[in-house]
Chain A
Amino acid sequence: MAAFVLPFEKPVVELVTRVRELRALAEQDRQFLPELRRLEEKAGRLAKELFSDLSAWQKVQLSRHPNRPYTLDYIGHLFDEWLELHGDRSFGDDAAIVCGLARYRGRSVVVVGHQKGRGAKDNVKRNFGMPHPEGYRKACRMYELASRFGMPILTFIDTPGAYPGIGAEERGQSEAIGACLAAMARARVPVIATIIGEGGSGGALALGVANRVQVLEYGTYSVISPEGCASILWKDGNKADEAAERLRMTAPDLLRLRVVDRVVEEPAGGAHQDAAAAAKLVDAALHTTLTELLAKSPDQLVDDRYERFRSLGAFVG
C-alpha cells in the first residue's frame, strides 16, 4: 500500500515510523527493547498532543484517509471462518457492500460493511464505497437471514454516501435504503454498528439502525457531506472546512448528541498507522457490547433498538 501523508500528519507519521523501525531492530536485538519502550511511550504521548486539537475538517480528511483500514481489513483481524455471500437475488452483486458469515469469539455472526477500494482499479470495482440499490438489497437479505437464524449482526460503516446515478434511481435507491432501515429495525438479534471511517448520510444509515452504535476516534457521521453543505450554503464547495465544523459530525459531537453510544480510541496517529492495533481496540469494544446485548431476549432487543432511536431529536411543545 502506497503511503499517503496529509500535511498535518507529517510529525506524527515521522514519529510512528521511527518507532516501527526500532521495533524491527528490537525484534532482532533485545538490547533495543528499553529504548523501544521509551520511544513508544513518548510517541504515543506526542501523537496525542499533536492530534489533540485537530479541526473538524482535518478529522474528515482522516476519516477518508486512503491508507485507513477498511471493512475487509477488520474482517481479517476480527473474525475466523469468514465466508463472503454475494448478490441481491434480483439484479446483481454490488462490491461496494460486502456481506457474509463469520465466527466472532466462537459465535456465528452476520457481517455487513461498506467496502472502499485500494488503488484505482479496485476503487472502480468498489465504486469508491458508494453502493447501488443491489448493495442495499443484499444487506437487507443478510439482516433477514441473521434474524431468522439468530445470528448477531455486526456492521461496518464507511461510505461517502449511496451513489447518486441514473441506474441507482432506476432501480429504486430510495426504496432499497428504506427497506434496509425497516429490516434492521425488525431484526430479532443484537445489532452493533461501527463507524470505521466516513458515515455518509442515508447510505450509511442503511447499515446503522443498531442497538449500539460506536464510532472510531476519527470517524465521522453526517446528514450531508461538508462539500455538499458548503455548496448549498455558500455556493462554494471550497468552504467545506467551515461546513464540517457546523455540521457537528466528529466523534465527540456525535457522542454528545447521543447519536453514538461509544467512541473507540485509535492508535497513535490514527487507525491507518497500525491496523492490527486498531482492530484490537474495536474488538474490545465489540466484545463488551455484544456480551451486554446477548443477555436480552429477541423482543427486548427490538424494543431496545426502537427506544434508542425513538429518543433522538430535539424539540419543544
Chain B
Amino acid sequence: MPWPTRKRGGLDAHEKTSLGKGVFRKCDGCGETLTAEALHETFEVCPQCGQHHKLSAARWRDLILDDGKLEVWDAGLEPTDPLSFADGKPYPDRVAASQRSSKAKEAIEIGAGSINGVRVAYGAFLFSFMGGSMGSVVGEKVTRLFERGAAQRLPVVLLQASGGARMQEGILSLMQMAKTVAARERLRDAGVPFVSVLLHPTTGGVAASFAFLGDVNVAEPGALIGFAGPRVIETTIRQKLPEGFQRSEFLLDHGMIDRITSRLEMKQELGLLLGHLVLTTPLRARSSRRLPEVDD
C-alpha cells in the first residue's frame, strides 16, 4: 500500500497559503483563477464550483475546534527504522525531510478539544507528511486516541487523509491496522461514539482498518476513498475506471458512508451529530433482564 507520490508543483495547500498576498491559484475543479488569499478564507473550497482542495491539519483545527484550540497529546513520538529501509534515500532521511517541510514529527496530530461546546478526543492526519501513511507512530497515536476516548469518555472525532500503510516500516505498518481496530473496539465496548471523517484521499490500510468503523462515517465531497488505488485496479482489470469511481458520491450510493458534508458545514454537522450521540439522555439499558434459572 503506497502513499501517492506528489504531483504537479509539489506544494500543498498549507504551503501555498504561506506564500502571501497577490499569489494566484487555479481551481482543480473549474480551472478558475483565484487569489490564494480568497481560497485561504474559504478553507480551500472554491467559491465558484465548490471543489475541496487539501486543507492542512492546522487549518482543520481552526475550522472545526472551538477557538481553534487543541490540547495536543504525544507530539514527541517519532519513528525509528526497524527494517533499515532504503529506497534511494534511507528511511530516516526521508522522515527528517518530511519533518522539516511539515514542521511536524509525524503524519497525525491528536489531542483534546471542543466542538460546539462538546469536549472530544480529536485526531487529524497530515497528508503532507509522507502521504499521511500509517507506520508505528500513527498506529500508536490512533490507538491512544481511542484508548483515551474510552478512559475519559470523550467521543472520538478522527479526520483521515492517508494513502495507507507505510511501506518503509513494512509488516509493522500492517500490524498497526490490527492494533488500532482493537482499540476502536474497546471504545465501542465503553459505549463512547466514534465519528469517522473521510477526507481526500483515504485508501489502503487506513481505509481497511478503522476508517469505516465509525458509528457514523462522514465524507467530504469528491474525496477518493477506497481499498485499492485506482492505478492498481486499472492494472489488474486492464480497463479504464468509470468517472466518479471511488469518490464520496459513489460510496454514498453504495451504502458505505452515512453522509457527504461540505467542509464549510462540517463543524455545524459534527456539532449536531455529537448533540444526538452524547448530549442525550440514554434509555435505561435493557440488558438487566436475567436468564431464567435452570434446576440441576
Partner of A222 from B170, B182, B186, B233 at Cβ < 8 Å: B170
**Distance, CA A202 to CA B181, complexed state (A):** 13
Residues A205 and B211 in contact, CB atoms below 8 Å apart: no
Q: Interface size for chain A: under 10, 10 to 19, 20 to 34, or 35 or more residues?
A: 35 or more
Q: A178-B212, A181-B181 are in contact. Are A314 and B172 (CB under 8 A)?
A: yes
Within 8 A of A (CB), among B139-178: 139-140, 143, 165, 167, 169-178
Partner of B233 from A169, A224, A232, A246 at Cβ < 8 Å: A169
A-B contact pairs, 18 of them (CB 8 A): A162-B227, A162-B228, A170-B250, A173-B208, A173-B228, A174-B208, A174-B225, A179-B213, A184-B178, A202-B209, A208-B178, A209-B178, A221-B174, A228-B232, A257-B172, A310-B143, A310-B182, A312-B136
Q: Kindly list the 10 A-B residue pairs having the minimum CB-CB distance in the complex, ordered from nearest.
A: A164-B228, A313-B136, A317-B76, A173-B227, A175-B212, A174-B207, A314-B82, A185-B182, A181-B181, A177-B208
Is B226 engaged at the interface, CB distance under 8 Å to the other chain? yes
Is B66 engaged at the interface, CB distance under 8 Å to the other chain? no
**Distance, CA A317 to CA B169, complexed state (A):** 17
Residues B170 and A314 in contact, CB atoms below 8 Å apart: no
Distance to closest chain A CB from B168 (angstroms): 9
Q: Can you name the residue of chain B whose Cβ is closest to the Cβ of A203?
A: B208
Interface SS majority for chain A? helix
Residues of B within 8 A of A205 (CB): 174, 177-178
Residues B256 and A254 in contact, CB atoms below 8 Å apart: no
Residues B241 and A309 in contact, CB atoms below 8 Å apart: no
Residues A315 and B80 in contact, CB atoms below 8 Å apart: yes
**Distance, CA A185 to CA B68, complexed state (A):** 35
Residues A247 and B213 in contact, CB atoms below 8 Å apart: no
Mask: chain B, 264-289; 1 = CB below 8 Å from A; 0 = not: 00000000000000000000000000
Is B129 engaged at the interface, CB distance under 8 Å to the other chain? no
Report the count of interface residues on B (CB-CB < 8 A): 65
Residues of B within 8 A of A221 (CB): 171, 174
Residues A316 and B209 in contact, CB atoms below 8 Å apart: no
Residues B245 and A248 in contact, CB atoms below 8 Å apart: no
Q: Can you name the residue of chain A whose Cβ is closest to the Cβ of B74?
A: A317
Is B86 engaged at the interface, CB distance under 8 Å to the other chain? yes
Is A26 engaged at the interface, CB distance under 8 Å to the other chain? no
Residues of A within 8 A of B2 (CB): 224, 228, 232
Residues of A within 8 A of B254 (CB): 170-172
Is B132 engaged at the interface, CB distance under 8 Å to the other chain? no
